[in-house]
Amino acid sequence: HKLKQNPTTWKEVCPTGTEKEADSTASNDKERIFVRYVLRNLVKVSRRRTLALCVHLSVPETSAVASKAMMVFVNMLYHRVDMFIDRHPDQLMLCSLYLACSKMKLAPTVGFQKIKDAYMEMNERFYDTSTLNSIFYEVKLSELPSSNAKRGNLVSFYNEVFTPNVRPFWKSFVKGAPRNRVNG
């Protein structure tokens, strides 16, 4: 409920230190515990899936690439949780992986198409074709929650929404690196 009211930050739901001491009712504590549990598991599953994708793609420095991708994903989850609303977490995980690959100079060798193909191949027994296609071709592009939200493909999402919103944390990857724009 609190995330819907102020989706930009989850500090209100999962405060630390003095913030937690300020509001420690039993109801809020249960809510915090639940949200922490869900977020911890989301990160754990995403980390495992990112690492598996890197191995499947035969990415050099697999653990370093997966680590950088997860750093972006976790920072986004902490600072821009609103980006997760009405989107599949794998959409954000895939964009984080592509960003890490591009910053580590693995793109275009490991481009969006190769990541997409590997993801589809790895998940074809878990998802039906329409679900897999919707992850890549039915991505919400507008930032406002709406049933009439503009939709597009994952590359458009990466260029129009993801990159501008993660710029504060991806600058730390490579100082002075040019912005990587993907051509669809």
pLDDT at 163 over 80: yes
Instruction: Name which of 119, 114, 70, 98 is nearest 181 in CA terms.
Output: 98
pLDDT at 156: 96
SS3 content of the chain, % helix, strand, coil (to 5): 60, 0, 35
Q: What's the pLDDT tens digit per position in 126-153?
A: 999 999 999 999 999 987 666 678 899 9
pLDDT at 97: 96
For the entire predicted model, the pTM comes to 0.78
pLDDT at 11: 55
Rg (alpha carbons) of the chain, rounded to whole number: 17
Burial classification of residue 84, based on how many CB atoms lie within 10 Å of its CB (0-12 exposed, 13-18 middle, 19 or more buried):
middle
Cβ atoms of residues 80 and 56 within 8 Å: no
pLDDT at 145: 63
Instruction: Name which of 39, 37, 47, 43 is nearest 9 in CA terms.
Output: 39
* Average pLDDT estimate for 14-21: 51
pLDDT at 61: 86
pLDDT at 179 over 50: no
Q: What's the pLDDT tens digit per position in 35-44?
A: 899 999 999 9
**Cα–Cα distance for residue pair 70/81, rounded to 1 Å:** 14
Tokens representing 37? 């549990």
Q: What's the pLDDT tens digit per position in 69-121?
A: 999 999 999 888 889 989 999 999 999 999 999 888 887 789 999 999 999 99
